[in-house]
Chain A
């Protein structure tokens, strides 16, 4: 089983649009939407849910007022400023349990809470593992780990050879959880100064976790000078540029219709560029040592 993660550092560079199109080209695969904060891939892949499970990722401290002796030790010891005037703020509480441990009156307990849901579904190209974190919750990295676990499980059961992960923006915990152990990390970059800055950090992160990188330049014709800079940077660092995809309003039109670009406009230049990109990604995957 091979695994690829699409990431970007900067948000909104086209990860989900490309993931959906790649899925259409791969024909039979498992797609995992690892952007559990703000998942969008289901709008294009329209999954039919087979299994839904609760995600209990963290705990929250709850105080029994009748037992509280108002000593204030909990407030003093909480490092997240989650207790103010003996009132626990469930939003700031990280569920560490310090307050419950230090409370001399045993007035505080840690309760498990449902932080979101994970789903395993069928799609027209195979299967999809996805989730939804409740807004404002913590531990999205843990939920990503569950989504990837579910993806591997269904892939094994259904004998699917490829898992394609759509990663979240950033380079922090949910992104790290999206890339650990994959064969390839494809960084989607737009030719803007911010895009380049964020790509460099995303590539450093991949390097830190020893994951083979590839770069795909989206909306490359927005600024040719920056596109050249990206290509030079990749050349200097021995990273292959797998694709160059032009800026075209049909990408948004396809999204409005709830379709992948390949279905919406199969003969367009963008679709051709996406096909070329995907075949280079598969080539690169073929040359990566199977672990």
Chain B
């Protein structure tokens, strides 16, 4: 089964929870870090990397001697990635979605497609956890195509845990798509609640069953609990606010490996997820 760990707000503890789940499971686990803009799983798990492969996106290459400046490609491009100047068609790669329409539509066959590297996918292992993560090249705007490549590594034979990026737009949808269950990590504060509601909306649109993990329980107020109660959203686990957990995290140490009883709690959490999920 595939379990996504997501949240609207950043910094609520997604990676901490995803890593804790992976380290607590009895079975074989694959942990996939889909936060390709700022991947952090490898900082906590320090996997030995077995494989690194570049990821490319396809972008148009305009053969100027064939181009008659008809402007059809410019009109059809929905992303304004092509611009017709008096002498030639200009291309802005950062706006291109690699749909291929310009190449299909060019009546002069003056557009071919070429590969442009946008990042890398790395595979490795830490203890008995298979780790996969993507790293977007700095300056590259489009995360979704790299996330798609990272997700091609999903091994359905294993329990798959997906660490999603923060937010609620396309990179999040790309990451959680196809999951059997989503754990939404929040903190019990007004910001945490506000962004949790947004994340719930996204997951409900995608029809993915969900539950909440309240991290840093004890800070803030009780409104997250009220909201979950009203909406019938199960609170699957509470992790209390603790300076010890924060301090371990700051040094890149997963707290479940140092604090007693927590592996058991995360194993129970996995059990609960299995019971909640139809798959």
Q: Would you call B191 and A91 a contact (CB within 8 A)? A: no
Q: Would you call A193 and B247 a contact (CB within 8 A)? A: no
**Distance to closest chain A CB from B138 (angstroms):** 4
| Apart from A79-B99, A198-B40: 11 A-B pairs, beta carbons within 8 A | A11-B11, A38-B9, A38-B194, A40-B191, A43-B191, A77-B100, A96-B97, A102-B104, A135-B205, A197-B40, A255-B191
B residues 1-21 touching A (CB-CB < 8 Å): 8-12, 15
Q: Would you call A222 and B250 a contact (CB within 8 A)? A: yes
Question: Which residues of B are in contact with A by a Cβ distance under 8 Å?
Answer: 8-12, 15, 35, 37-38, 40, 43-44, 76, 78-79, 94, 97-101, 104-105, 136, 138-143, 165-173, 177, 189-191, 194-195, 198-199, 201-202, 205-206, 219-221, 246-247, 249-252
Q: B201 is contacted by which of A94, A135, A169, A197 (Cβ under 8 Å)?
A: A135
Q: Contacts A91-B173, A258-B190: A168 and B167 contacting too (C-beta < 8 A)?
A: yes
Q: Would you call B143 and A172 a contact (CB within 8 A)? A: yes
A209→B141 CA distance, assembly (Å): 12
The interface residues of chain B lying within 8 Å CB-to-CB of A193 are 43, 250-252
A residues 13-52 touching B (CB-CB < 8 Å): 13, 16, 35-38, 40, 43
Q: Would you call A77 and B167 a contact (CB within 8 A)? A: no
Q: Would you call B10 and A96 a contact (CB within 8 A)? A: no
Q: Would you call A77 and B168 a contact (CB within 8 A)? A: no
Q: Would you call A40 and B104 a contact (CB within 8 A)? A: no
Which of A200-208, A236-244, A283-291 makes up part of the contact surface? A200-208
The interface residues of chain B lying within 8 Å CB-to-CB of A194 are 15, 38, 40, 43-44, 249, 252
Q: Would you call B100 and A176 a contact (CB within 8 A)? A: no
User: What are 22 A-B residue pairs whose CB atoms fall within 8 Å in the complex?
Assistant: A10-B40, A13-B11, A16-B191, A37-B166, A38-B198, A77-B104, A96-B79, A136-B173, A138-B170, A140-B167, A140-B170, A172-B142, A173-B142, A173-B143, A176-B139, A176-B141, A193-B251, A194-B252, A195-B250, A201-B37, A208-B139, A252-B220
Q: Would you call A252 and B219 a contact (CB within 8 A)? A: yes
Question: Which residues of A are in contact with B by a Cβ distance under 8 Å?
Answer: 8-13, 16, 35-38, 40, 43, 58-59, 77, 79-80, 91-92, 94-98, 101-102, 110, 133, 135-141, 168-176, 190-195, 197-198, 201, 204-205, 208-209, 222-223, 226, 249, 252, 255-256, 258
Q: Would you call A169 and B99 a contact (CB within 8 A)? A: no
The interface residues of chain B lying within 8 Å CB-to-CB of A38 are 8-10, 166-168, 194-195, 198
Q: Contacts A38-B167, A133-B168, A169-B38: A12 and B220 contacting too (C-beta < 8 A)?
A: no
A172→B140 CA distance, assembly (Å): 6
Q: Would you call A201 and B38 a contact (CB within 8 A)? A: yes
**Distance to closest chain A CB from B10 (angstroms):** 1
Q: Would you call A91 and B206 a contact (CB within 8 A)? A: yes
Q: Contacts A98-B101, A101-B76, A135-B202: A170 and B166 contacting too (C-beta < 8 A)?
A: yes
Nearest-neighbor residue (CB-CB) of A115 within chain B: B169
Among A96, A197, A258, the most chain B Cβ lie within 10 Å of the Cβ of A96
The interface residues of chain B lying within 8 Å CB-to-CB of A98 are 99-101, 104
**Distance to closest chain B CB from A191 (angstroms):** 6
**Distance to closest chain A CB from B41 (angstroms):** 9
Among A36, A77, A102, A135, the most chain B Cβ lie within 10 Å of the Cβ of A135
**Distance to closest chain B CB from A177 (angstroms):** 8
Q: Would you call B10 and A172 a contact (CB within 8 A)? A: no
The interface residues of chain B lying within 8 Å CB-to-CB of A35 are 167
**Distance to closest chain B CB from A196 (angstroms):** 9
A208→B198 CA distance, assembly (Å): 32
**Distance to closest chain A CB from B62 (angstroms):** 18
Nearest-neighbor residue (CB-CB) of B204 within chain A: A135
The interface residues of chain A lying within 8 Å CB-to-CB of B194 are 38, 40, 43
Q: Contacts A172-B141, A173-B143, A205-B138: A92 and B191 contacting too (C-beta < 8 A)?
A: no
Q: Contacts A12-B10, A16-B191, A170-B167: A37 and B198 contacting too (C-beta < 8 A)?
A: yes
A8→B105 CA distance, assembly (Å): 41
The interface residues of chain A lying within 8 Å CB-to-CB of B201 are 135-136
Q: B189 is contacted by which of A97, A191, A201, A252 (Cβ under 8 Å)?
A: A252
The interface residues of chain A lying within 8 Å CB-to-CB of B205 are 91, 135-136
Nearest-neighbor residue (CB-CB) of B166 within chain A: A11
Q: Contacts A135-B168, A172-B171, A208-B138: A9 and B249 contacting too (C-beta < 8 A)?
A: no
A84→B142 CA distance, assembly (Å): 24
The interface residues of chain A lying within 8 Å CB-to-CB of B195 are 38, 40
